[in-house]
Amino acid sequence: MSYTHILVDTRGRVGLITLNRPQALNALNDALIDEIGLALDGFEADENIGAIVITGSEKAFAAGADIGAMAGFSYMDAYKGDYITRNWERVKTCRKPVIAAVAGFALGGGCELAMTCDLLIAADTAKFGQPEVKLGILPGAGGTQRLPRAVGKAKAMDLCLTARFMDAAEAERAGLVSRVVPADKLLDEALAAAETIAGYSLPVVMMIKESVNRAYESSLAEGLLFERRQFHAAFALEDQKEGMAAFVEKRKAQFKHR
Ligand code: HXC
């Protein structure tokens, strides 16, 4: 499979997707998002892959959807072709965990793409924003929905309405990112986190991803019930027997279904 807008690689049991439109700060277009989807399809089907990292460059994770490509759209173009917004939920539907490793700008669609990932690790250079309002549009791939869920209404309104950028430290305080690391350690840290996840039982990892995502889609009572059903189901797994036996025998677990 050859790709035009992304680089696709593997590191151990981790699939690595690098956004690769350096001339446009990794501005996102439909072809690029479709390529991410294809790469994820490949990693989902690959038994040797247990987790995925999506990253950009030192300067930009992605500076948003490609403004040049969108500028002339009519409503008919955008609606009929589902342009720019199609295929964006593919990261969410990926059953294996996806980590965003963000350095530099993550703006507009770039911030939205990072937010569709399961875990967001930021370099100390990262800058997050939803500056669409300056272009006469609004966020269209989850910015008005995922951002308030991640950082609360106050900060989400602030970012979406004023277009100001939030630095990595503020993003960590607000709960958007799980860790901030020095820029030169970003990829190593993200790959190490992914490799750790890929060492666990894949069915359990998938159950955890599904259950945490349920917290966004359901009432607390429904979410707790969903979690309890998954929890009970985990006792049907060979890996549960192995994980607990390894603890009792004071050895490292050798999960069979990674
Ligand atoms: C197309 C872009 C781009 C974008 C940057 N470039 N962002 N091209 N779409 N979103 C291009 C520039 O035109 C320029 O190309 C090159 O990348 C380098 O950018 P500069 O502006 O020269 O860099 P700098 O001065 O460092 O400023 C960086 C920046 C700025 C602050 C990130 O580029 C910027 O404000 N970009 C737009 C950010 C934005 O509005 N994003 C939201 C897009 S709307 P040339 O050829 O001149 O060198 C959106 C909607 C999502 O995302 C909807 C759902 C998917």
Q: Out of 39, 63, 65, 114, pick the active-site residue.
A: 65
Q: What are phi and psi of 19, to 5 degrees?
A: -65, 135
The preferred substitution site among 67, 134, 147 for testing ligand 1, maximizing ligand atoms within 8 Å of CB, is 67
Q: Whole-angstrom Cα distance, residue 56 to residue 186?
A: 11
Topology adopted by domain 201-249: Lyase 2-enoyl-coa Hydratase; Chain  A, domain 2 (1.10.12)
- Determine how β-strand 51-55 pairs with β-strand 14-19: parallel
DSSP string, 153-212: HHHHHHHHHH---EEHHHHHHHTS-SEEE-GGGHHHHHHHHHHHHHTS-HHHHHHHHHHH
pLDDT at residue 218, as a whole number: 94
- Tell me what pLDDT residue 88 has: 87
Parallel/antiparallel/unpaired status of strands 98-102 and 119-123: parallel
pLDDT at 149: 96
The CATH number fitting domain 6-198, selected from 3.90.226.10, 3.40.50.1820, 3.40.50.150, 3.40.228.10: 3.90.226.10
Within 13 Å of residue 97, how many CA atoms lie on the same side as its CB?
A: 31
Q: Is 132 a catalytic residue?
A: yes
User: Is the CB of 131 within 6 Å of ligand 1?
Assistant: yes
In three-state secondary structure terms, 11 is strand
State the Cα–Cα distance between residues 237 and 253, nearest whole angstrom: 14
Domain with CATH 3.90.226.10 in the chain: 6-198
Closest CA to 59 of 30, 19, 11, 91: 19
- What does each of the 258 residues of the chain score in pLDDT, given as a tens digit? 899 999 999 999 999 999 999 999 999 999 999 999 999 999 999 999 999 999 999 999 999 999 999 999 999 988 988 888 888 889 989 999 999 999 999 999 999 999 999 999 999 999 999 999 999 999 999 999 999 999 999 999 999 999 999 999 999 999 999 999 999 999 999 999 999 999 999 999 999 999 999 998 899 999 999 999 999 999 999 999 999 999 999 999 999 999
CB of 113 closer than 6 A to ligand 1? no
Per-residue model confidence (pLDDT) at position 85: 82
Q: How far is the CA of 194 from the centre of ligand 1 (A)?
A: 29
Atom of ligand 1 nearest to the CA of 65: 52
**88, 168, 204 from 29: Cα distances, Å:** 11, 25, 34
- For CATH 1.10.12.10, list the domain ranges present in the chain: 201-249
Q: Of 15, 49, 17, which Cα lies nearest the Cα of 202?
A: 49
Determine the distance from the C-alpha atom of residue 38 to the mean position of all C-alpha atoms in its chain, rounded to a whole number.
15
